Amino acid sequence: MPRAGLTREKIALTAAELVDRGERLTIAAVAQQLGVSGPAIYKHRAGLDELQRDVAVLAVTELTAALSAATVGRAGAEALRAAADAYRAYGREHPGRLAASVRAPAPGDAEHEAASEAALAVLTSILRGYDLAEDDLVDALRTVRAAFHGFAALEAAGGFGLPRDVDATFARYVDTLDAGLRAWITHSLGG
């Protein structure tokens, strides 16, 4: 019987906190953090792969909520900038979760698929403000996701060591992404 008070959600949050601190995710580490034995964790999760999956779902869900809150009522470049800022802020606050968020859902994992679809819906909503052709939407989604994630991941890993203000670079980065998306409109129209 599962231990009272120990839930799958509590285990996932503890695992997420561990990875955000840069600690190695193991069943033993989660159990120790929760003050339980390893077998108590196994009553809720089958193993490390399920823990990693739960952190990914949690991360995607939280990130989607942050993007959605930042972009509500905004469109086009304004929505893109707000989403970029929210993504970057999430990466700063939750670097381990950010890394976990790239995990693709396993076939048949309805919960993870739903979380991923919700994230794509927010990004799609942002991109609708650019009046892209339907054929361009998947490319635009991949481009924006890679751009947001790449910058946030590099920053979280301490990858920007050159003597220039990272905020200034980020502003130019988002401006460049915006200009590129606006250029797709022209390209799509044959211009």
pLDDT tens per residue across span 82-135: 999 999 999 999 999 999 999 999 999 999 999 999 999 999 999 999 989 888
Tell me which H or E stretch contains 68: helix 48-71
Copy the structure tokens of residue 126. 């942002």
Q: How confident is the model at residue 184 (pLDDT cuts 50, 70, 90)?
A: confident
- 110-128 and 48-71 helices, crossing angle to 10°: 30
Rounded Cα gap, residues 79 and 57, in angstroms: 24
Among the residue ranges 110-119, 146-155, 163-172, 181-190, the one predicted with the least confidence is 181-190
Q: Is 167 exposed, middle or buried (0-12, 13-18, 19+ CB in 10 A)?
A: exposed
pLDDT of residue 1: 42
In the chain, the amino acid numbered 93 is E
pLDDT of residue 134: 87
Rounded Cα gap, residues 44 and 23, in angstroms: 21
Rounded Cα gap, residues 49 and 44, in angstroms: 13
Task: Give the three-class secondary structure for 171.
Answer: helix
Neighbours of 118 (CB within 10 A): 16
Inter-residue contact 11 to 54 (CB < 8 Å):
yes
What's the average model confidence in pLDDT over 57-74? 97
What's the average model confidence in pLDDT over 158-184? 95
In the chain, the amino acid numbered 74 is R
pLDDT of residue 166: 96
pLDDT of residue 135: 86
pLDDT of residue 5: 84
Residue 108 per-residue DSSP state: T
Rounded Cα gap, residues 182 and 75, in angstroms: 13
pLDDT of residue 4: 56
For the chain, the average pLDDT equals 93
Query: Does 3 score more than 90 pLDDT?
Result: no
Rounded Cα gap, residues 23 and 25, in angstroms: 6
Among the residue ranges 50-54, 134-138, 148-152, the one predicted with the least confidence is 134-138
pLDDT of residue 151: 97
**Domain 46-188 top-level CATH class:** mainly alpha
Which among 31, 3, 2 is positioned nearest to 15, based on CA atoms?
Answer: 31
Q: How confident is the model at residue 2 (pLDDT cuts 50, 70, 90)?
A: very low
pLDDT of residue 79: 97
Q: Tell me the CA end-to-end span of the chain in Å, nearest whole number.
A: 66
Rounded Cα gap, residues 170 and 114, in angstroms: 30
What's the average model confidence in pLDDT over 26-38? 96
What is the reported pTM? Answer: 0.91
